[in-house]
Amino acid sequence: MLFTSYEFLGFLFLLFLLYYIIPKRYQWICLLCASYLFYAFSGIKYLGYIVSTTCSTYLVCYKMEKIGEEQKNYIRLNKERLTREEKKSYKIYMKKKQWNWLLFGLIFNFSILAVCKYVNFSISNINNVLQLIKSNSRLPFLSIALPLGISYYTFQMMGYAIDIYRGKYPAERNLGKLALFASFFPQLMQGPISRFDDLSKTMFSAHSFDRKRIFFGLQRILWGFFKKLVIADRILPAVTTITHNPENYQGVYVFIGMLFYALELYADFTGGIDMVIGIGEVLGVQVKENFNRPYFSKSIKEYWNRWHISLGAWFTEYIFYPVSVCQPMLKLSKFSRNHFGEAIGKRIPVYLATILVWLITGIWHGAAWNFVVWGLMNCLVLLISQELQPCYRWFHRKFHLEGKWGFRLFQVVRTVLLMSSIRMFDCYRDVSTTFRMFFSMLTKYNFMELLNGGMLKLGISAIDYGILFIGMIILIGVSFIGRSGSVREKIAKKPIIVQFLIWYGLFLAVLLFGAYGEGYDASQFIYNQF
């Protein structure tokens, strides 16, 4: 059930109506039922996957907490007779037991994700190796469909389990509430990856009908529809035409396609997140922001702090920091300091952890070598940029350009172009084609084709370009206004007639200029595939 379908709009209307009619103490149960109903639309058989993750995580966290309680009670009852060393040894033993349960949960759930998402990719690579060595043997591919949102809810639940292991907060004893945290339907499509201590603050609470909050939520949903239908889906045919026909569209067309895809991806992904946050707002559930105007970033590092914030935070907290400070890494760092010097020794943990994070990030995005190379290319650029920091500081001391408007604009344009170039791995069918298309921009000079009507052969008309241009202006304008505070709050302070004209105008824009498929079959969100 797509967010941009009649079925989903009807589903939302009935949910909103029922949610505020039933007694408040049952609201979270209503959300749980709605979430499982939503999930069932993708296939009832897939409910087993999310139920397995929920129940296994509940069991693991329950066991870890019981072990923690057992430890506290034992030490409390025997604190007089236990020596300091005995207490320490006992705590280590009990922590090991907790770790074993956590390890079981991680292996069980990530194995499900790996089988569903990566087993055929692995089989494909094994078959390629067999072909390379002239073997006639081939492994058969498995017929496994990817369950809805499995990457998102698996990461979300495993983050929760790790938090319980770390003692960050108590485990949720109500299985139904934990099931709602795992399955909250707006997040299943494309995130964000929420933390339990953040989402639970409002998810399980009773919510009264708040006119302002609900109106703000509907505004956010409408803004998401505008981004998705008026901008992302309208420019999609041009992106598809260019990237699916690499032999016919090279040189300047690749550059145009690269920029078009950057716009499509941003409007599509942030539009979907706007809908998620807006739906949550109508229901009184506060979902954290996942973007912070990433195309205003002045560096790659800043860009990744602003783009898909929840995913970056997950990798940083649960992979980067644990890996960079684990005992084997500290030993390797010490060995490197002793044999290769301080400069190399202190970089080893950071570099290896960074490479691992970006390798996993690429694999998370998709089971294809394109995404693996995409992740490693991001890693390479970040590490080079980090090594060049002394040069940057010298440059700014020498020329005093930092903070000046023109130089900031250069930094933003440079970042957008660099990230768009790396994003080409999303678009083309394989790694070699991607590199070939990239270098065609530098070797094939066919700019005049655009002036001879080439832009009108990409599947969108002159009217489409006009609508896209106006949509871009609105998008950029809202982003600029949002730098100094909530745009909705600013609009709410305007006279009621101005508010009406703005929101009704946006509604008409979606209604009249949205790119609808046959039977209102709008295209799927890009990040649904992940």
- What's the rounded Cα separation, in Å, for the pair 518 and 510? 16
Among residues 227, 239, 186, the alpha carbon closest in space to that of 424 is found at 239
207 is catalytic: no
Quote the tokens at residue 521.
Answer: 């079959």
Quote the tokens at residue 271.
Answer: 């539009």
End-to-end alpha-carbon separation of the chain, Å?
16
Q: Which of 308, 339, 365, 396 is catalytic?
A: 365
Ramachandran region, residue 321 (left: φ > 0; alpha: ψ -120 to 50; beta: rest): alpha
Report, in this order, helix, strand and coil percent for the chain, each rounded to 5. Answer: 75, 0, 25
Question: 396 with 390: CB under 8 angstroms?
Answer: no
> Which long-range contacts (C-beta less than 8 Å, at least 24 apart) are formed by 204-207?
204/28, 204/177, 204/180, 205/284, 206/24, 206/25, 206/27, 207/19, 207/20, 207/24, 207/27, 207/283, 207/284
Q: What DSSP string describes 63-99?
A: HHHHHHHHHHHHHHHHTTT--HHHHHHHHHHHHHHHH
- What's the rounded Cα separation, in Å, for the pair 375 and 355? 9
Question: 108 with 56: CB under 8 angstroms?
Answer: yes
Using alpha carbons only, give the angle 275, 280, 281 rounded to the nearest 5 degrees.
95
DSSP label of 132: H
Q: What DSSP string describes 160-201?
A: HHHHHHHTSSPPP--HHHHHHHHH-HHHHTT-----HHHHHH
Quote the tokens at residue 269.
Answer: 């992904």
Q: For residue 50, count other CB atoms closer than 10 A to its CB.
A: 23
What amino acid positions are annotated as catalytic residues?
A: 365
